[in-house]
Amino acid sequence: MKIDVVKLDAGKAGSIDLDDAVFGIEEIRADILQRAVKWQLSRRQAGTHKTKERSEINRTKKKAYRQKGTGGARHGARSAPIFVGGGVAHGPRVRSHATDLPKKVRALALKHALSSKAGSKQLVILDEARLDAPKTRALTENLGKLGLSNALIIDGETLDENFARAARNIPLIDVLPAQGLNVYDVLRRDTLVLTKAAVEKINERFTAQEAA
């Protein structure tokens, strides 16, 4: 697959060949994308929510009233969940929400995410993501020329500090290095922007996975 390369000022910078095995998948598997997103989000959950149960309530353990003859239900302590101030029955506990997903499925999901952007014409190849100064206004103007208002920008191994600092003040614009490329961030933005260095890193990434 051949796609045009543009500069940050919307000028042309030639073209580049993209691997069809990564960017040219025609039948996008929504179920695989859903599994990958669910796997990512489950790993982000802290799992630190907790309520006190009956045994953790600091209340007297003395029997509230006699067992029989009151005409009411029989209770042995005020820490029971039925009372105000008592413990919570079956409340949340501290635990991990993380789920497992095979590496091959994760790699396949990323390929489908990239192919979905390429197939829907929401993929832009940028010559390089660099600025002479960390000026948000200048970057906003350049992104406007490219028609980008909601985009994920992926650079090479490292980010240009000026570009990253200018972009962090722009809403709906995310900037990540190549190793941070993931399914969730690709799908949550309308347009995916890859630099030429990012494309090289992506090819290296999948080549290494196939070799392994």
* 21-68 confidence digits (pLDDT tens): 999 999 999 999 999 999 999 999 999 999 999 999 998 888 888 999
3-state class of 71 per DSSP?
A: coil
Label residue 1 by pLDDT band (50, 70, 90): confident
Count other C-beta atoms under 10 Å from residue 162's C-beta: 17
**Cβ pair 112, 37 in contact under 8 A:** no
Q: Provide the token pair at 23.
A: 């960017």
Instruction: Tell me the three-class secondary structure of 155-188, residue by residue.
Output: CCCCCCHHHHHHHCCCCCEEEECHHHCCHHHHHH
212, pLDDT greater than 80: no
Distance CA 113, CA 147 (A): 21
Indicate the pTM of the whole model.
0.84
Q: Which has more pLDDT, 192 or 210?
A: 192
Query: Under CATH, which number does the domain 2-36+101-211 receive?
Result: 3.40.1370.10
